[in-house]
A = this chain, B = another copy of it.
Amino acid sequence: MTRRNSPVYTLGELAECLGARLAGDAGRQIVGLATLKEAGPDRVAFLANRAYLKDLADTRAAAVLLHPQHGDACPVARLELDNPYLGYAALSRLFDPLAGREPGGVHPSAVVDPSASLGEGVEVGANAVVEAGVRLGDDVVIGPGAVVGADSVVGAGSRLHANVTVCHGVVVGARAILHSGCVIGGDGFGFAHDGAGWHKIAQLGGVVLGDDVEVGSCSSIDRGALGDTIIGNDVKIDSQVQIAHNVQIGDHSALAGCVGIAGSTRVGKHCMLGGGVGLSGHLTLCDGVQVTGMSLVTNSITEPGVYSSGTGAMKNAQWRKNAVRFKQLDDIAKRLVRLEKGRDA
């Protein structure tokens, strides 16, 4: 990445960009965003959660992005919008130092196979590798040290950060963001046993990522055994996530850090998996399922809703006693039934 100066906007420009109603000096220069508490007089803050309403009166921000209902309580200039959190998201992208940079072209140290095709405005970073038959859409950025394997396709506007690996025969949709260290298209975990040891099943499928997919640092999405592993549009995947072969994830689902999904499981649309959740293989989760952090799901889920497993944390001394009792739980339940029968007799 080449350096760029931090962007500066006027309040008027920000209001126009957001479609927000501005109450205040449209010419005021803004250099960035901050929380209500930490914003100085050259920054915009936002109020999107009532828990922070207490910080509004004392803010030193140049202006606050908020819902019109809080306009009167705002001691400084304001940008009014019905969904201020969405407005914050839009502003954050304006101030992103990676946005709006001039593309750097293909770095002389990058190795791009002559058979690869590169769209307009493509950047390939230092010591990156683009193998034979790869197609990179317009404005694709391949970070330094990243590798795109033979015959893979990366859609327009996608960014692969430094040291990303996209293996051979993978399809990445448009506007994807793949963070450093993630691996798309490593082999799925497939072996046949002959009674003595393992025989590898070559993983002949690929991975298809839809449009607007994000994959976090050090996450891995394995290629399919025969068919493809399929990630829908607008699916957001955090860091340290493992998605096994032939998994399918529906559009707009979000997977928090350290999630692991075993082979051939299908997750519906608009699902949300909390950090560290595990899904066993060959399950189906319908649309709209939420699973709370570190839960293990071993059966398919056919009704939308929130699901959980595990026990809450407690002091270790207390936990030891209870955990021992857990091993006696079936016995406890049976003894209770006997007592109940005795009472009723």
Contacts and interface: CB of A to CB of B under 8 A. Distances in A.
Interface of A: 1-3, 32-35, 38, 83, 85-86, 88-90, 92-93, 95-99, 107, 109, 111, 113, 115, 125-129, 131-133, 143-147, 149-151, 161-163, 165, 167-169, 177, 179-183, 186-187, 189, 191-192, 194, 196-204, 212, 214, 216-220, 222, 225-227, 234, 236, 238-240, 242, 244, 251-252, 254, 256-258, 260, 262, 275-276, 278, 280, 290-299, 305-330, 332-333, 335-336, 339-340, 342-343
A258 B275 contact: no
The copy count of this chain in the complex is 3
A326 B311 contact: yes
Contacts of A97: 168-169, 204
A194 to B, nearest CB: 6
Which of A33, A220, A336 has the largest number of chain B CB atoms within 10 A? Answer: A220
A88 B296 contact: no
B96 A107 contact: no
- Across chains A and B, which 8 residue pairs bring their CB atoms closest together, nearest first? A186-B217, A96-B202, A306-B316, A217-B220, A321-B330, A111-B126, A92-B202, A89-B192
Which of A95, A113, A177, A319 has the largest number of chain B CB atoms within 10 A? Answer: A319
A336 B342 CA distance: 13
Given A293-B298, A318-B327, 16 more contacts: A35-B226, A83-B194, A92-B201, A182-B218, A189-B238, A242-B257, A244-B257, A258-B258, A258-B278, A305-B315, A305-B316, A306-B316, A306-B317, A307-B316, A309-B311, A310-B311
B204 A33 contact: yes
A147 B163 contact: yes
A307 B314 contact: yes
A172 B326 CA distance: 43
Nearest to A38: B227
Contacts of A181: 165, 181-183, 186, 218, 220
A318 B308 CA distance: 9
B296 A294 contact: yes
A217 B244 CA distance: 11
A97 B96 CA distance: 40
A165 B162 contact: yes
Contacts of A292: 316
A197 B254 CA distance: 10
A259 to B, nearest CB: 9
A86 to B, nearest CB: 5
A3 B280 CA distance: 36
13 contacts: A32-B204, A93-B202, A131-B144, A145-B146, A145-B147, A147-B180, A189-B256, A239-B242, A262-B275, A291-B313, A310-B323, A311-B326, A322-B327
